């Protein structure tokens, strides 16, 4: 049975299962089923679907690949049973074959199972077996093959390659002739890889003249030269050495996970605490970068010094700080903007994110982490050119990152209440996706496990309830919200100019405390310290002394200490007495004695000050430098504009103008059932047209149909559901009005896909160009 005919004989339900499991086959929809079969047999499509197979299902494909032509299911069952480490092949074999048929990799009845066209070509060395003998010796000279055939199969007829392949079909006799050293060399290649390095592999040697163990094998065709210094083991020889088995120690079921059992409630509460802390870390990052944004490197990314400073300010290890920065970037909360050189600033989306509930904010961050193609764990490592990889650098992208994260979370989801060991997770992933193994995959898995714990998807290594809801597409915020700590709206002021927050503060109070005080320590309770510089920071942001004291009284569970009141009043009394403008810069003060004090201070020599008037000093330094220098000398100047107004430094005034250039991985999920059903109808209609080769029909005469837009859409939807033909009026791109008879298949994205009987072909029609619809 031909593969195309087998595809054509599938039911609509089976075709929907095929295009649902392999959505790339209908992107775009082929014109007919023959085109679908050709696309399903293309190397890229086959490689993509093979990458999704588990170890047992892939072993079934490899077992069929080493056989020539169709195989009976009973014979396949015997071969698979011989390879199993334990247990019986059923029902796993039947389930694997059903899945392979649904995927279009295997076709035919149980009495004649075969692989789809192209699968054997895509599988390189299936099951670690080399190429068949006739392929392995295809590059050998005919004269050399004739000599080899004369040695191993004297008296036979045909070409040298045919005679040699026939002799190797039963290689037992030839293998028994070689010495033990040669047999040992074969055993090393028996279970793969089937290639090895041999100097001067293409040497011409006869059985009689062979001296070394390798020459004994080359002379008998038990090894074939694959290059100047490489040899390969013919498939027939490998199967003989394996005792007829294709695999060994095969598992029909995934390996069980090993680890530590933990209570789900404890894991959920621990994960919720981590989730809350991560949300607050992202918020603190954006707030700090609103005031002091780091620069963008010329090559892109964040500088090492800025990364270290950020980690210190957030009081987090370097790798956790890098994770916070990368997730904030992937969520669209920070982006490059600002000056010509560029700065990393919060986006306008941050302001929208900040006012949402904590649970909703966490969902946005965790979903971005799960889908992003960036790898924060690589920050600090070196690339191929021995250059360090910085945070936010374009080179942190890895196309497989999102897939590894989702696969890793899927493994954790399969073991509720268990914190699996790292090696156990790797073993399970190697069984689930054997074609995607490698050092990078193991590294990405390790990153995924530790980052999931830091984000709060897992708690103590166990997948949390809200983490499970997130990866399954359910609503995660309602699951997380009851587990989050209740924010408090008060602090405990102490006489030593500190304030203790007995729990997580509300978002607004946390922002205000971060503005008016410095964080001294974190933990179960956060300790803030008020100082002259922190109070001045609040005054610079537009706060008045009275407002500061009222805010402290409102949110303090204890009376405001006298020392703190004196500190606020004293800083406010001195704040703004000195004003700095642009001369390049000038200093203005109503108290000449204070200006005398400044000019007499030795520390002001570098500012190159010049007295212009009793209340005015000019400087060649810029306004920003002059303000910072005077503050370092112990004064409290404020900048002013050209109009003499005080310039207030707003916390959230620094934002990027455009959205963040976030790159998400293309969705790989199943298409909508309606889309799959419409695609199958279009394929059936196109195939019917392809087989019948119908001639174009004439459109009906009379007035071209004209209906309102809403009625047009409604009638087309009814025709798609009922499989009816319709008569439409259509205006082409040149503005010409035409009349068509259509069999509508599907409608999406402003276009209608249908079989056009007036053109005898499948076409797409822009909905806004359809003037009306009428029944035929």
Pair of tokens at residue 644: 């003499």
What interhelical angle do 358-371 and 264-291 show, nearest 10?
90
Per-residue pLDDT of 549-576, as tens digits, reads 888 888 888 888 888 888 888 888 888 7
Q: How many residues are recorded in the chain? A: 776
> The domain containing residue 142 runs over which residues?
133-241
Q: How far apart are CA 308 and CA 318, in angstroms?
A: 7
Q: How far apart are CA 1 and CA 168, in angstroms?
A: 30
Q: What band does 395 get if pLDDT is binned at 50, 70 and 90?
A: confident
Tell me whether residue 403 is in a domain. Answer: yes
Do residues 750 and 768 make contact, with C-beta atoms less than 8 angstroms apart? Answer: yes
Which residues does residue 76 pair with via DSSP β-bridges, in sequence order?
Answer: none
Do residues 575 and 627 make contact, with C-beta atoms less than 8 angstroms apart? Answer: no
Tell me whether residue 658 is in a domain. Answer: no
Q: What percent of the chain has pLDDT over 90?
A: 39
Per-residue pLDDT of 23-64, as tens digits, reads 999 888 888 898 999 999 999 999 999 999 999 999 999 999
Pair of tokens at residue 404: 């590894």
Residue 438 scores a pLDDT above 80: no
Residue 721 scores a pLDDT above 50: yes
Which residues does residue 230 pair with via DSSP β-bridges, in sequence order?
Answer: 197
Tell me whether residue 660 is in a domain. Answer: no
Same structural domain for residues 397 and 419? yes
* Among the ranges given (182-186, 246-250, 482-486), the one the predictor scored with the smallest mean pLDDT: 482-486
Tell me whether residue 561 is in a domain. Answer: no
Whether a cis peptide bond, with omega within 30° of 0, leads into 193 is yes
Q: What band does 701 get if pLDDT is binned at 50, 70 and 90?
A: low
Tell me whether residue 656 is in a domain. Answer: no
Do residues 413 and 471 make contact, with C-beta atoms less than 8 angstroms apart? Answer: yes
Backbone angles phi, psi at 141, to 5 degrees: -65, 140
Pair of tokens at residue 584: 């390049």
- Taking the CA of residue 298 as centre, how many other CA atoms within 13 Å lie in the half-sphere pointing to its CB? 0
pLDDT higher for 278 or 641? 278
State the average pLDDT over residues 328-340: 83
Per-residue pLDDT of 639-664, as tens digits, reads 887 666 776 655 445 666 544 444 44
Q: What is the pLDDT of residue 274?
A: 93
Same structural domain for residues 37 and 166? no
DSSP state of 754: E
Q: What is the CATH number of the domain that holds 699?
A: 2.30.30.100
Tell me whether residue 524 is in a domain. Answer: yes
Q: What is the pLDDT of residue 660?
A: 44
> In angstroms, how far is the first alpha carbon of the chain from the final one?
39
Count: domains in the chain: 6
- Taking the CA of residue 54 as centre, how many other CA atoms within 13 Å lie in the half-sphere pointing to its CB? 20
Same structural domain for residues 378 and 443? yes
Do residues 638 and 626 make contact, with C-beta atoms less than 8 angstroms apart? Answer: no
Q: Considering only CA atoms, which of 259, 291, 557 is closest in space to residue 417?
A: 259
Tell me whether residue 708 is in a domain. Answer: yes
Residue 166 scores a pLDDT above 70: yes
Q: Pick left, alpha or beta for residue 69 (phi over 0 → left; psi -120 to 50 → alpha; otherwise beta).
A: left
Q: How far apart are CA 604 and CA 100, in angstroms?
A: 81
Pair of tokens at residue 760: 């005898």
DSSP state of 321: H
Q: What is the pLDDT of residue 102?
A: 93
Do residues 354 and 347 make contact, with C-beta atoms less than 8 angstroms apart? Answer: no
Q: What is the pLDDT of residue 258?
A: 93
Per-residue pLDDT of 514-549, as tens digits, reads 778 888 877 667 888 998 888 888 888 778 888 888
Q: What is the pLDDT of residue 698?
A: 64
Residue 160, C-beta contacts closer than 8 angstroms, at least 6 positions apart: 142, 143, 144, 145, 146, 147, 148, 149
Residue 209 scores a pLDDT above 50: yes
Same structural domain for residues 16 and 141? no
Same structural domain for residues 339 and 479? yes
Choosing from 418, 453, 483, the residue where a domain stops is 483
Q: How far apart are CA 215 and CA 205, in angstroms?
A: 7
Same structural domain for residues 310 and 425? yes
Q: What is the pLDDT of residue 663?
A: 46
- CA distances 773 to 607, 685, 736, 770, Å, are 81, 20, 17, 8
Per-residue pLDDT of 659-680, as tens digits, reads 444 444 444 457 788 888 888 9
Per-residue pLDDT of 593-638, as tens digits, reads 888 888 888 888 888 788 878 888 888 787 878 888 888 888 888 8
Q: What angle do CA 257, 260, 264 make, to 5 degrees?
A: 100
Residue 725 scores a pLDDT above 60: yes
Same structural domain for residues 498 and 613? no
Q: What is the pLDDT of residue 652?
A: 43
Same structural domain for residues 475 and 523? no
Do residues 663 and 397 make contact, with C-beta atoms less than 8 angstroms apart? Answer: yes
Q: How far apart are CA 88 and CA 82, in angstroms?
A: 9
pLDDT higher for 577 or 96? 96
Same structural domain for residues 467 and 339? yes
Same structural domain for residues 310 and 419? yes
Do residues 454 and 278 make contact, with C-beta atoms less than 8 angstroms apart? Answer: yes
Choosing from 461, 483, 505, the residue where a domain stops is 483
Do residues 290 and 511 make contact, with C-beta atoms less than 8 angstroms apart? Answer: no
Choosing from 124, 146, 169, the residue where a domain stops is 124
DSSP state of 505: B
Which residues does residue 334 pair with via DSSP β-bridges, in sequence order?
Answer: 346
Q: How far apart are CA 268 and CA 265, in angstroms?
A: 5
Q: How far apart are CA 44 and CA 51, in angstroms?
A: 11
- CA distances 358 to 328, 354, 495, 520, 583, Å, are 15, 9, 33, 24, 47
| Average pLDDT value over all residues in the chain | 86
Q: What is the CATH number of the domain that holds 76?
A: 1.10.10
Residue 304 scores a pLDDT above 60: yes
Tell me whether residue 37 is in a domain. Answer: yes
Same structural domain for residues 93 and 167? no
Residue 47, C-beta contacts closer than 8 angstroms, at least 6 positions apart: 122
- CA distances 713 to 600, 680, 718, 758, Å, are 84, 21, 9, 21
Same structural domain for residues 84 and 109? yes
Pair of tokens at residue 422: 């790292």
Q: What is the pLDDT of residue 309?
A: 93
Per-residue pLDDT of 66-123, as tens digits, reads 988 899 999 999 999 999 988 889 899 999 999 999 999 999 999 999 999 999 999 8
């Amino acid at each position: 049975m031909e593969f195309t005919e087998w595809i054509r004989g599938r039911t609509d339900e089976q075709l929907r299962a095929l295009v649902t499991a392999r959505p790339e086959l209908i992107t775009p929809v082929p014109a007919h089923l023959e085109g679908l079969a050709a696309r399903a047999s293309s190397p890229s499509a086959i490689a993509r679907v093979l990458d999704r197979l588990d170890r047992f299902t892939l072993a079934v494909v490899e077992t069929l690949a080493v056989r020539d032509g169709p195989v009976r299911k009973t014979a396949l069952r015997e071969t698979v049973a011989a390879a199993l480490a334990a247990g019986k092949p059923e029902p796993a074999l039947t389930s694997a074959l059903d899945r392979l048929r649904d995927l279009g990799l295997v076709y035919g009845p149980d009495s004649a199972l075969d692989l789809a066209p192209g699968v054997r070509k895509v599988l390189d060395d299936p099951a670690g077996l080399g190429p068949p003998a006739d392929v392995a010796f295809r590059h050998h000279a005919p004269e050399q093959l004739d000599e080899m055939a004369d040695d191993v199969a004297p008296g036979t007829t045909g070409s040298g390659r045919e005679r040699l392949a026939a002799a190797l079909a039963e290689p037992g006799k030839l293998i028994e002739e070689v010495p033990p050293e040669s047999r040992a060399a074969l055993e090393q290649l028996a279970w793969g890889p089937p290639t090895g390095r041999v100097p001067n592999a293409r040497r011409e040697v006869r059985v009689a003249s062979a001296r070394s163990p390798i020459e004994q094998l080359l002379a008998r065709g038990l090894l074939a030269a694959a290059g100047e210094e490489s040899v390969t083991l013919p498939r027939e020889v490998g199967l003989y050495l394996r005792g007829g088995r294709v695999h060994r120690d095969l598992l029909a079921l995934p390996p069980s996970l090993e680890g530590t059992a933990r209570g789900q409630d404890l894991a959920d509460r621990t994960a919720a605490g981590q989730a809350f802390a991560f949300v607050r870390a992202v918020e603190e990052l954006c707030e700090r970068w609103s005031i002091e944004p780091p620069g963008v490197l010329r090559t892109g990314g964040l500088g090492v010094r800025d990364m270290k400073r950020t980690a210190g300010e957030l009081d987090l290890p370097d790798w956790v700080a890098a994770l916070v920065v990368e997730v904030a970037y992937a969520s669209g909360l920070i982006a490059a903007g600002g000056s010509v050189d560029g700065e990393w600033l919060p986006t306008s989306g941050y302001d929208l994110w900040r006012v949402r509930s904590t649970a909703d904010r966490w969902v946005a961050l965790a979903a971005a982490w799960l889908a992003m193609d960036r790898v924060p764990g690589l920050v600090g490592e070196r690339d191929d050119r021995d250059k360090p990889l910085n945070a936010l650098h374009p080179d942190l992208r890895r196309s497989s990152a999102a897939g590894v994260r989702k696969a890793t979370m899927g493994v954790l989801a399969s073991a509720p209440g268990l914190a699996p060991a790292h090696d156990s997770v790797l073993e399970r992933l190697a069984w689930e996706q054997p074609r995607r193994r490698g050092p990078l995959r193991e590294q990405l898995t390790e990153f995924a496990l530790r980052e999931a714990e830091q984000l709060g998807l897992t708690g103590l290594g166990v997948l949390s309830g809200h983490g499970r809801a997130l990866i399954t597409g359910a609503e995660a915020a309602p699951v997380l919200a009851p587990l989050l700590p209740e924010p408090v709206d008060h602090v405990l002021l102490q006489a030593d100019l500190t304030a203790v927050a007995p729990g997580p503060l509300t978002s607004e109070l946390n922002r205000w405390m971060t503005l008016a005080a410095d964080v001294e320590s974190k933990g179960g309770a956060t300790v803030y310290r008020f100082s002259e510089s922190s109070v001045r920071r609040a005054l610079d942001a537009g706060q008045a002394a009275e407002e500061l004291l009222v805010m402290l009284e409102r949110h303090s569970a204890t009376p405001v200490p006298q020392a703190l009141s004196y500190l606020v009043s004293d800083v406010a009394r001195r704040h703004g007495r000195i004003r700095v403008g642009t001369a390049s810069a000038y200093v203005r003060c109503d108290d000449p004695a204070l200006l005398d004090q400044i000019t007499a201070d030795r520390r002001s020599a570098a500012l190159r000050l010049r007295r212009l008037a009793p209340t005015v000093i000019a400087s060649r330094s810029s306004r920003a430098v002059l303000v910072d220098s005077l503050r370092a000398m112990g004064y409290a100047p404020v900048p002013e504009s050209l109009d003499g107004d005080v310039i207030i430094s707003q916390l959230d005034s620094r934002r990027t103008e455009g959205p963040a250039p976030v790159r998400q991985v293309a969705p790989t999920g199943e298409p909508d059932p309606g889309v799959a059903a419409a695609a199958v109808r279009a394929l059936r209609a196109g195939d019917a047209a392809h087989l019948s080769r119908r001639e174009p029909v004439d459109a009906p005469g009379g007035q071209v149909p004209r209906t309102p837009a809403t009625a047009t859409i409604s009638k087309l939807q009814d025709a798609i559901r009922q499989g009816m033909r319709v008569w439409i009026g259509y205006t082409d791109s040149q503005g010409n009005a035409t009349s068509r008879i259509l069999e509508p298949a599907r409608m999406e994205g402003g276009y209608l896909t249908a079989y056009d009987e007036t053109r005898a072909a499948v076409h797409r029609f822009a909905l806004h160009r359809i003037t009306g619809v009428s029944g035929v």
